[in-house]
Homo-oligomer: A and B are copies of this chain.
Amino acid sequence: MIRVLRSSVGLFALGLTLGVVWATAAMAMEPLPATPPVPKDNPQTKEKVNLGRQLFFDPRLSVTQTVSCNSCHNVMASGTDNRPTSFGVFGKKGGRSAPNVWNAAFLSVQFWDGRAASLEDQAKGPILNPVEMGMPNEAAVVALIDGIPGYREQFQRVFGGKNPVTYDNIAKAIAAYERTLVTPNSPFDQYKKGKKNAMSAQAIRGMKAVEELGCTTCHSGPNFAGPAMKTGEGFYQAFPMFPGSEYEKKYHLTDDKGRYEVTKNKNDMNHWRVPTWRNVALTAPYFHNGSVATLEEAVRVMGKTQLDKNLDDKTVADIVAFLNSLTGQFPAQTMPVLPPTPNTTTLPEAGR
């Protein structure tokens, strides 16, 4: 686990601890690569991506057959559900705001608290979470998918073997699809690649402001979510860094203990994986509990809680303009067709 300290000595020590070169370069703002890292044991293929897209959109993966991955990570929109927290099966509510699935493939750990090392690990969680998709266990999910002829055939083609429908392979297919969810060519990316009129003067002022203020100490790298790290190694930060502000109380920022809930290590209290700035203009409301309705207010909160600064209106507006320049281009997608179960339904409760 990494915490960013406020002194240069701390930063230096951190660099040594990590065993990486911790220099200005590591904090640079970079264009988004065209493709994210791909694990060796789950290579990308077109058929696997198509299968993963179907699974991502298939509400049959929930116990009521009403909630799909896309319900909370809507890839027709921001990649979130733009709610403070999500509704799962039976109208149950989750405790944290749905993270953005767009460009999640560039993150080295998943979930707000980093408890999943990879997209594959992440995909296995919500399906079994009782307040999300609510399936009783892995075996029930596998039996359901294995019972749909169109899926069984596709798993056979994609994964091969005697019993290709496994929980691991379901997660692999979903992760392969998610690795295609990349939004390149934001105005910032175009600017970085030389198109100097891609960003407004205000956005450029905002870009300078986030560097000078120190926001990019954490929001660095191509995904603005921290330096490049190995898959499974997380870049965490205290939020709030400066406790006791009015915002902390107003927005209940410390009710949820964050990474501490995973590790039970006191040093992780109220620590969170640094979230991406990519497409942040589209993902209101903000923070782990979705308590802040606007990006403008989120910038003010961050200024106060992380830098102990009361940002003036102009600076806030400049930073918001810069953050809007990080909205990428969303690739056109074909709508999946979900394989049917002719003459019957996969829903156990139906007709009984």
Contact = CB atoms under 8 A, between A and B. Distances in A.
B337 A335 contact: no
B343 A324 contact: yes
Contact of A295 (B74, B282, B337, B343): B343
Q: How many subunits of this chain does the assembly comprise?
A: 2
Contacts of A77: 337-338, 340
A83 interface: yes
Interface secondary structure of A, over-half rule: loop
A270 interface: no
A43 interface: no
A272 interface: no
Contacts of A65: 81-83
A104 to B, nearest CB: 18
Interface stretch (A22-30, A118-126, A190-198, A284-292): A284-292
Contacts of A346: 82
B333 A282 contact: no
A347 interface: yes
A191 to B, nearest CB: 18
A281 B90 contact: no
26 contacts: A60-B82, A64-B87, A66-B83, A66-B86, A76-B338, A77-B340, A83-B347, A83-B350, A84-B347, A91-B92, A281-B340, A284-B343, A285-B345, A285-B350, A290-B351, A291-B351, A292-B351, A293-B351, A295-B344, A320-B343, A324-B342, A330-B337, A332-B334, A332-B335, A334-B334, A335-B335
A336 B335 CA distance: 8
A243 interface: no
Given A91-B91, A91-B92, A294-B344, A76 B351 contact: no
A36 interface: no
A81 to B, nearest CB: 7
Interface in A238-288: 251, 281-282, 284-286
Chain A interface residue number, banded: 35 or more
A153 interface: no
Contact of A296 (B57, B89, B343): B343
A78 interface: yes
Given A74-B338, A293-B345, A324-B342, 6 more contacts: A59-B81, A66-B81, A66-B86, A87-B91, A281-B343, A284-B345
A351 B74 contact: no
B334 A333 contact: yes
A349 interface: yes
Interface string A30-48: 0000000000000000000
A110 interface: no
A103 interface: no
A297 interface: yes
A345 B81 CA distance: 10
A327 B332 CA distance: 28
A302 to B, nearest CB: 14
Contacts of A230: none
